[in-house]
């Protein structure tokens, strides 16, 4: 399986919502993921209900969600760095084997009556660890299964898989709990991981020889964090996701208590509440492509957050079981709308070389919000009551949504983040050792005196690009003896790091660079020079210059 072509993509496409299913490998991946997600929802439903049997404390019940989320918070960044530096297929097989054995142990302990509240939390944490290590690689793998122009549709279909499973899994989990017991539900979850292993085993992913050596683990981790911080569009996704998830997770953390105590229900009640949410999410996934043609992602997220807050209020107040099923369907539709919009925005705001690391940070922020929010609302429910906790969280969700609305998630048209390849290889006397450094690069511009202010303002965008792609210092200076003659300088750690800058420059960056170069009034293109620190291996020439480049 080779990487898809890097073509431009927008958040809205006219190629059809089901187009990714044309590709057999994506169909196989989608079906295996669906089966695994169904097993996960069966496990989630079962564990939430089993904990109400083992402990009546709202805190202990909310800790089930914490045990699921906390490993993702702790290990997602590590998993993201691995996803960008190792083979996805082999790595994912290892994670699925881990979760298979963990689910098997959970089923055995339950069947033999040896499961306690704390062992349930420990094994839930272990399953969460497997999920944490797998999620960034699974998310990044989607881009390898379809061409780039179908990536948005593939992401929506992946969200649809998660929400179809939410419609099916809780109902199956509730029925298994009522008819056979928790051990059967945990056993079925174990089988779902085996299906993923089989799919990954038959995924014939062709190795792609990298043009440059892979980054070392900690350097790759730093590069991912640096890029995520410097990319304003991706940073906006993180802010909007945090504002939503911390307050919205109260529904999922406290829903077992609503089903058991407020509705005086049974496992089936809890399962069907979750199923209703899943049905609503599926309906939303079907109609969302049409809705997205009429509004921006940011506006859609805001409206869906308001609707979600209203459903949270309704869940807190209403006690009619049949009416609550309808409310949960609307809640699930709003949940899917927010999360799929944020995920599409996250995917299209970063290039392929850093996608696993950026998505791992998104996943970490998401589950950190789930973890802290679940603890918070479990504590509030313990000190007040469950309906009061839901009411407070709904009000806070509205306030947070208003405060972060200024962080833009972009327009319909996504930036073109495919590699541009427009930087030529530096013209040098002799190729230096890749570890030689630091490397200083200078770019000389001739600017009309009356356009200096505009030029310096435009250069701030270029500063972000240089720093984001690896430069540890940057500056632009005017020659006081020749007004209008400017020198841009930036430094990277080594010659290899500078070559990585060449590989990372995107077509969107090229557009910004060309706009800046139009300020240049010299007869040729801005002059680019390279200087390397350290001791040369064989060459005695330390400086090389190239003109006609478009750095």
Question: What is the per-residue DSSP string for 358-388?
Answer: HHHHHHHHHHHHHHHHHHHHHHHHHHS-HHH
More confident residue, 226 or 261: 226
3-state secondary structure 234-274: HHHHHHHHHHHHHHHCHHHHHHHHHHHHHCCCCHHHHHHHH
CATH of 439-546, one of 2.60.40.10, 3.90.1170.50, 3.30.70.100, 3.40.640.10: 3.30.70.100
Where does the pLDDT of residue 168 fall: very low under 50, low under 70, confident under 90, or very high at 90 and above? confident
More confident residue, 380 or 12: 380
Residue 523 CA to chain centroid, in angstroms?
46
Where does the pLDDT of residue 16 fall: very low under 50, low under 70, confident under 90, or very high at 90 and above? low
CATH topology for 23-403 is Growth Hormone; Chain: A; (1.20.1250)
Helix/strand/coil for 447 = strand
Q: What pLDDT is attached to residue 27?
A: 86
207, pLDDT greater than 90:
no
Helix axes 250-257, 355-383, angle to 10 degrees: 40
Burial class (CB in 10 A: 0-12, 13-18, 19+), 213: exposed
Paired sense of beta strands 473-478 and 439-446, if any: unpaired
Paired sense of beta strands 527-532 and 473-478, if any: unpaired
In this structure, of 98-107, 310-319, 357-366, the range with the lowest mean pLDDT score is: 357-366
**Structure tokens belonging to residue 61:** 């019940």
Helix/strand/coil for 531 = strand
CA angle (275, 155, 1) in 5-degree steps:
125
427, pLDDT greater than 90:
no
* DSSP secondary structure code for residue 258 in this structure: I
Q: Where are the domains of the chain?
A: 23-403, 439-546
The pLDDT mean for the chain works out to: 83
User: What are 26-35's pLDDT values in tens digits?
Assistant: 888 888 888 8
211, pLDDT greater than 70:
no
Omega prior to 479 cis, within 30 of 0:
no
Q: What pLDDT is attached to residue 309?
A: 95
Where does the pLDDT of residue 542 fall: very low under 50, low under 70, confident under 90, or very high at 90 and above? very low
Q: pTM of the full predicted structure? A: 0.72
**Structure tokens belonging to residue 483:** 């007004």
3-state secondary structure 320-361: CHHHHHHHHHHHHHHHHHHHHHHHHHHHHCCCHHHHHHHHHH
Q: What pLDDT is attached to residue 551?
A: 67
Please name the residue that has the structure tokens 């054995």: 101
In this structure, of 108-122, 179-193, 236-250, 365-379, the range with the lowest mean pLDDT score is: 365-379
Cβ atoms of 403 and 264 within 8 Å: the answer is no
Where does the pLDDT of residue 10 fall: very low under 50, low under 70, confident under 90, or very high at 90 and above? very low
Please report, rounded to a whole number, the percentage of residues in the chain having pLDDT higher than 70: 90
456, pLDDT greater than 90:
yes
Q: What pLDDT is attached to residue 540?
A: 39
């Amino acid at each position: 399986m080779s990487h898809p072509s890097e073509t431009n993509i927008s958040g809205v496409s006219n190629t059809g919502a089901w187009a990714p299913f044309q590709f057999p490998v994506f169909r196989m991946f989608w079906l295996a993921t669906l089966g695994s997600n169904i097993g996960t929802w069966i496990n989630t439903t079962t564990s939430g209900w089993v904990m109400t049997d083992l402990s009546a404390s709202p805190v202990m019940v909310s800790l089930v969600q914490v045990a699921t989320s906390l490993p993702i918070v702790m290990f997602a960044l590590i998993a993201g760095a691995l996803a960008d530096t190792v083979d996805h297929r082999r790595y994912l097989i290892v994670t699925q084997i881990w979760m298979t054995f963990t689910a098997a142990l959970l089923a055995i302990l339950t069947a033999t009556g040896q499961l306690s509240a704390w062992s349930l939390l420990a094994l839930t944490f272990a399953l969460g660890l497997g999920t944490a290590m797998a999620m960034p690689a699974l998310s990044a793998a989607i881009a390898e299964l379809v061409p780039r122009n179908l990536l948005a549709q593939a992401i929506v279909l992946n969200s649809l898989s998660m929400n179809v499973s939410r419609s099916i899994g809780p109902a199956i989990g509730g029925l298994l709990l009522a008819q056979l017991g928790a051990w059967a539900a945990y056993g079925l979850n174990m089988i779902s991981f085996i299906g993923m292993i089989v799919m990954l085993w038959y995924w014939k992913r062709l190795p792609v020889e990298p043009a440059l050596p892979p980054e070392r683990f900690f350097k790759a981790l730093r590069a991912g964090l640096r890029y995520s911080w410097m990319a304003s569009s991706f940073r906006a996704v993180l802010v909007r996701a945090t504002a939503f998830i911390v307050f919205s997770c109260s529904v999922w953390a406290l829903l077992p208590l609503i089903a058991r105590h407020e509705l005086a229900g049974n496992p089936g009640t809890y399962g069907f509440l979750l199923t209703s949410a899943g049905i609503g999410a599926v309906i939303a996934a079907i109609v969302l492509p049409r809705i997205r043609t009429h509004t921006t992602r940011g506006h859609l997220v805001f409206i869906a957050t308001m609707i979600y807050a209203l459903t949270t209020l309704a869940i807190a107040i209403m006690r009619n079981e049949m009416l609550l099923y309808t409310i949960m369907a609307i809640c699930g539709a709003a949940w899917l709308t927010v999360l799929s919009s944020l995920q599409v925005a996250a995917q299209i705001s970063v290039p392929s070389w850093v996608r696993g690391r950026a998505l791992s940070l998104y996943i970490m922020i998401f589950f950190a919000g789930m973890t802290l929010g679940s603890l918070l609302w479990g504590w509030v429910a313990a000190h007040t009551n469950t309906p009061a906790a839901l009411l407070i969280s709904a009000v806070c969700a509205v306030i947070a949504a208003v405060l972060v609305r200024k962080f833009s998630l972009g327009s319909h048209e996504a930036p073109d983040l495919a590699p541009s390849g427009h930087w030529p290889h530096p013209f040098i006397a002799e190729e230096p050792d890749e570890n030689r450094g630091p490397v200083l690069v200078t770019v000389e511009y001739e600017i009309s005196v009356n356009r200096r202010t505009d030029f310096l303002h435009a250069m701030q965008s270029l500063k972000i690009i240089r720093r984001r792609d690896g430069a540890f210092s940057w500056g632009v200076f005017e020659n006081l003896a020749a007004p209008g003659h400017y020198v841009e300088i930036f430094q990277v750690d080594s010659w290899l790091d500078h070559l990585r800058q060449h590989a990372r420059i995107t077509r969107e960056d090229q557009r910004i660079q060309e706009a800046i170069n139009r300020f240049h009034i010299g007869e040729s293109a801005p002059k680019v020079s390279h200087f390397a620190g350290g001791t040369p291996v064989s060459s005695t020439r330390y400086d090389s210059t190239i003109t006609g480049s478009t750095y």
